Every structure is written in C-alpha cells, then in structure tokens.
Amino acid sequence: MKKLLQVWGLVTVLMLMGATVSYASAFRIGDQGSEVAEIQGQLAGLGYDVTADGDFGPATAEAVKAFQRENGLTPDGLVGESTYAALLGKAMPNEAVSRGSNYINRRIVATSMQYIGVPYVFGGTSPSGFDCSGFVRYVFAQAGVVLPRAADEQYYMGMPVATGDLRTGDLVFFSTYEYGPSHVGIYLGDGNFINASSSRGVAVDSLYSSYWGSCYIGARRVM
C-alpha cells in the first residue's frame, strides 16, 4: 500500500508540472533562483534583514514590504515592475521564466497560511481541526498532490534533502513524542516552517529554535 501511495504521489506531481513556463509579472514567496538572489542582495545592501540565498520566503516578503512602505509603494510583499525598478534601478525582465514546481510550492504556502490558528485535534484532517500529518496532507491535496496519512509514511515520499538545501514546500520531520518521524511540517523558507502542533495549533515556527532544532531529523522533497 505504501508503494502504491508513493507511485500515485509522484504521478500526480508529474502531471502538475506539465505547464512550467510563466511570465514574471511579480516575484513572490516560493520563487527561487539567481534573480531572487539579486533582489535579496539589493535588499540586504540597503540594510534589510534578509539573506541572499535565492529562496523567496516569508522574511524576504517582509523585507520587500518594508522597502515598499519606505518608498511609497503598495506594501504587498510582491516584487512587481514598480518595486523591481525602484529596488534595482532597471526594468523587470519580461521574458518567460521557467518556474517548474515553484507554482505548486507557492500554492501550497498560500493555502497553508490560510489555516494559521486552526486548533490541534488528534486525528484531525479538516479545517475544523488538524493534527500534524493531517494538516500537511490536506494542504498538499489542495494543490493536487496526494500524500499518505501518517507522518512516518510521508517521511518515505520523494527524496531526502540536506538542511542547507531546503526550499519552500519541502517537508520537514521531527522526532517528538515517539522515536522516528512522529511530527511533520511544511518548510516556508528563511528557516521557518508551518505545522499543526499540539500546543499552538497551526502556527509558524523556526526550524532552529531550541525545541524544534533539537528534535529535527530531516527533510523530504516530494516535488
């Protein structure tokens, strides 16, 4: 059954990745690459708290908002034409860019953020209450990606990812109330992940906090 779920999950991802080319109307959470790193580098050079790692995560969006507010632009956290020109002093590239699974990643991140504050319910799989793996499975399902139900099953999906190579949409796993992968969340970038925890419900936490850092056991990429 586990192998069947793995195959179905990979087939679903391949189908979704059919349309991988879009126009860069705005850079946003989930985007990656050298152009994002250039944006981040310029922000960092202006004194904003962001790292030029090429991964447009929540911290980058907050830095963009701060830049926009200080320059009389709409603080939406998106780097569109006006923000790009004000920040980099040149026109935004208008050629088609390949984003691949980044579109799916952005959709997963956007969906996951809608449920911040939803209470933790053991065995919960819906917006009325989630447990950790139920939350991850529900969010990915909204993007058409099928995952197994339990955290320990999700741990065997996709491929392992080193901590230094994490990108938005990766699954991050922790050993909490029992040995092995007993808790799972969705990586958001900038060292943050979103999860359904028993103490706070759906919330954003730091992968490097004293608690989560101590029980982190690895990550998987399913897209």
Cβ(185)–Cβ(192) under 8 Å?
Answer: no
102, 105, 192, 195: the catalytic one is 195
Tokens of 56: 């447009």
- Give catalytic status of residue 132 as yes or no: yes
Euclidean distance between CA atoms 162 and 160, whole angstroms: 7
215 is a catalytic site residue? no
User: What is the C-alpha separation between 202 and 135, in angstroms, rounded?
Assistant: 8
Burial class (CB in 10 A: 0-12, 13-18, 19+), 175: middle
Phi, psi of 121 (to 5 degrees): -135, 120
Task: Give, as one character, the DSSP assignment of residue 71.
Answer: T
For residues 24 and 36, the answer to whether their CB atoms sit within 8 Å is no
Among the listed residues 102, 105, 183, 192, the single catalytic one is 183
Q: Say whether 183 is catalytic.
A: yes
The residue from 102, 132, 192, 215 that is catalytic is 132
Catalytic residues: 132, 183, 195
